[in-house]
Amino acid sequence: MRILVVDDEEDLADAIARSLRREGYAVDVANAGQDALDRLLVNPYDLVLLDLTLPDIDGLEVTRRIRTDAMFEPTTRILMVTARDSIEERVRGLDDGADDYLVKPFALPELSARVRTLLRRETTGGDAVLIAGRLALDSARQLVSWEDQPIDLTTKEFALLRYFMANEGEVLSQERLLEHVWDEMLDPFTNTARVTVGTLRRKLAAATGQTLIETVIGSGYRFVAPAA
């Protein structure tokens, strides 16, 4: 899943980004409202963490543009993260299109929990753990298991599997995987996605005895639920 952190406090934005990257998310950072809008026109972000007090365009206006302009992805979730703590500000933010509202200062574990809740809301019906047959992925504890036996994955392999399981049965192109699992620091001409899919597929096959990630020639890859 790919996240955009928007905050003019650069140290705080970088700290949030580092924390989320440790959980396997692809994270980009913007320090102004226009920068955020420009990035949203280019990249299909799954979630925006948005401060309200920005040096150019107010966060509420950024939210309104995301929700009303057809150029932006309508399914992008918005988590407002701000020091504005009045009931009126919270209601206004939610009415303008935010999905959730978190008041500064906050603990990073709470932020992570809010992020997990928003990102799984549409794909899993609110369940805390992704389940595909005997395969289970727990985002909160960063664990993957087969019949309760853990599978050792790198952070990026975990993030890739989470995206595959959240889109079970869909054919996912390499470009789509790069857009949602890696951030803008990745060289777009690299073969990183293909290599990571290959290592993940081998680890899953070793643990389950099945091929759970299929190659669809000319199109990409598809995750299929394991046989019973």
Over residues 93-150, the pLDDT tens digits come to 888 889 999 999 899 989 998 998 888 765 444 456 888 989 999 887 788 999 989 9
- For the stretch 209-224, pLDDT in tens is 999 999 999 899 999 9
| pTM score over 0.85 | no
Shared domain for 113 and 139, answered yes or no, is no
At which of 79, 101, 120 does a domain end?
Answer: 120
Shared domain for 8 and 102, answered yes or no, is yes
CA distance 129 to 120: 9
Check pLDDT > 90 for residue 24. no
- Token pair for residue 207? 């643990």
Mean pLDDT of 145-167: 91
By C-alpha distance, which of 78, 153, 160 is closest to 115? Answer: 78
Shared domain for 111 and 143, answered yes or no, is no
109 domain-assigned: yes
- For the stretch 163-194, pLDDT in tens is 999 899 999 998 888 888 887 766 666 688 88
Judged by phi (left if over 0) then psi (alpha if -120 to 50, else beta), residue 69 lies in beta
Count CB atoms within 10 A of the CB of residue 166. 20
- For the stretch 57-90, pLDDT in tens is 999 999 999 998 888 888 899 999 988 878 888 8
Shared domain for 134 and 115, answered yes or no, is no
228 domain-assigned: no
At which of 101, 120, 139 does a domain end?
Answer: 120
CA distance 113 to 2: 16
Which residue range is the domain that position 74 belongs to?
Answer: 2-120
Question: What 8-state DSSP symbol labels residue 127?
Answer: -
Number of domain units in the chain: 2
